[in-house]
Amino acid sequence: MNKSAQYFCLWSAAAMGVFVIIGWWLLAHFVPPPSPGWTAGEIAEFYVSNLTGIRTGMIFMLVGAGFFIPFIALISSQMRRMEHTPPVLAYTQLLGGSMSVMIILIPIMLWTTAAFRPERNPEITQMLNDAAWLITAMTFSPGIIQNLSIGLAVLWDRSAKRIFPRWVAYVNFWMALGFLPAGLMTYFKTGPFAWNGLLAFWLPLVAFTIWFNVMFIALMRAIREQRDS
């Protein structure tokens, strides 16, 4: 039973991936992001020209974000099996991961709000759009704390049969550094460090995708090798 529940948590993350790709990218056309350099009129037009796509895309995103929650719980559950690893790390990961879910849920509802009244003053739509993108792309600290707690736990693990291979720890440390450039987007409307830029948006996105796949495979192996108890 325990194993089936864990496999459900694992594959729910794959469901998240599918829902996010459909909602965020294919329906809402949020990838690549609308530029922070656009005028209020251009931003309003971006929403008006794709109202149904954005509204429906955000529903997909809500479903997808929900599916991320069991995956976070699964990471902590496997971390608790590591011998000699302080339990606080599993709880820190759980909280960091939960906050990451929250910083995607809030923007989803801000994007929804922005698309809710297309007839309103464009500057208000621009502000909602700004807030949504800044929250989702710049809020790096929960992710960093989550990565560091996973990394430290893996290094501390003294189980006879290791839960995750040690290099998974270093992928997590690397991911933590990959989040850092996102913090710079508060200063820029254009260029590589703006929220649609190569180094502040695409680099963390690619790094997250790599991290996600590494964790997925590592968790799949950890569940497979776990003896039913």
Partner 1 sequence: MMSGIEVTADTRVARSRAERHLPGEEGVWVFIMGDMVVFALFFAVFVWYRGLDPVLFSESQATLNAGYGLFNTCLLLTSSWFVVLAMNAVRRDLDRQAALLFVLALLCGLGFSLIKVLEYSEKIAADLTPLSNDFYMFYYILTGLHFVHVIIGMVVMLFMALLARRGVSRSGGLSFLEGGASYWHMVDLLWIVLFPLIYLMK
Q: What does the alpha-carbon distance between residue 93 and residue 77 come to, in Å, rounded to a whole number?
A: 10
Distances (CA, A) of 89 to 13, 92, 104: 21, 5, 23
**CB of residue 174 to partner 1, shortest distance in Å:** 4
Whose Cβ is closer to partner 1: residue 94's or residue 169's? 169
**CB of residue 166 to partner 1, shortest distance in Å:** 5
Asked, as a colleague might, if the bond just before 204 is cis with ω within 30 of 0, I would say: no
Residues 196-225 within binding reach of partner 1 (CB under 8 A): 198-199, 203, 207
Whose Cβ is closer to partner 1: residue 29's or residue 162's? 162
If one asks whether residue 180 binds partner 1 (CB under 8 A), the answer comes out as yes
Residue 214: count other Cβ atoms within 10 Å of its Cβ: 18
**CB of residue 131 to partner 1, shortest distance in Å:** 22
If one asks whether residue 191 binds partner 1 (CB under 8 A), the answer comes out as yes
Q: What does the alpha-carbon distance between residue 161 and residue 150 come to, in Å, rounded to a whole number?
A: 17
Q: 165 burial class (0-12, 13-18, 19+ CB within 10 angstroms)? A: middle
If one asks whether residue 169 binds partner 1 (CB under 8 A), the answer comes out as yes
If one asks whether residue 156 binds partner 1 (CB under 8 A), the answer comes out as no
Of residues 175, 221, 214, the one with CA closest to residue 78: 221
**CB of residue 217 to partner 1, shortest distance in Å:** 14
| Alpha-helix runs per DSSP H in the chain | 2-20, 40-48, 51-79, 87-116, 122-138, 141-156, 167-179, 203-225
Residues 113-152 within binding reach of partner 1 (CB under 8 A): none
In this chain, which stretch among 28-36, 65-73, 88-96, 183-191 interacts with partner 1, using CB under 8 A? 183-191
In this chain, which stretch among 77-85, 129-137, 170-178, 218-226 interacts with partner 1, using CB under 8 A? 170-178
R_g over Cα of the chain:
19
Whose Cβ is closer to partner 1: residue 115's or residue 169's? 169
Of residues 202, 217, 211, the one with CA closest to residue 173: 211
For the chain, the farthest-separated pair of C-alpha atoms sits apart, in whole angstroms, at 63
In this chain, which stretch among 63-71, 74-82, 192-200, 221-229 interacts with partner 1, using CB under 8 A? 192-200
**CB of residue 142 to partner 1, shortest distance in Å:** 19
List contacts with partner 1 (CB under 8 A): 165-171, 173-174, 177-178, 180-181, 184, 187-188, 191-193, 198-199, 203, 207
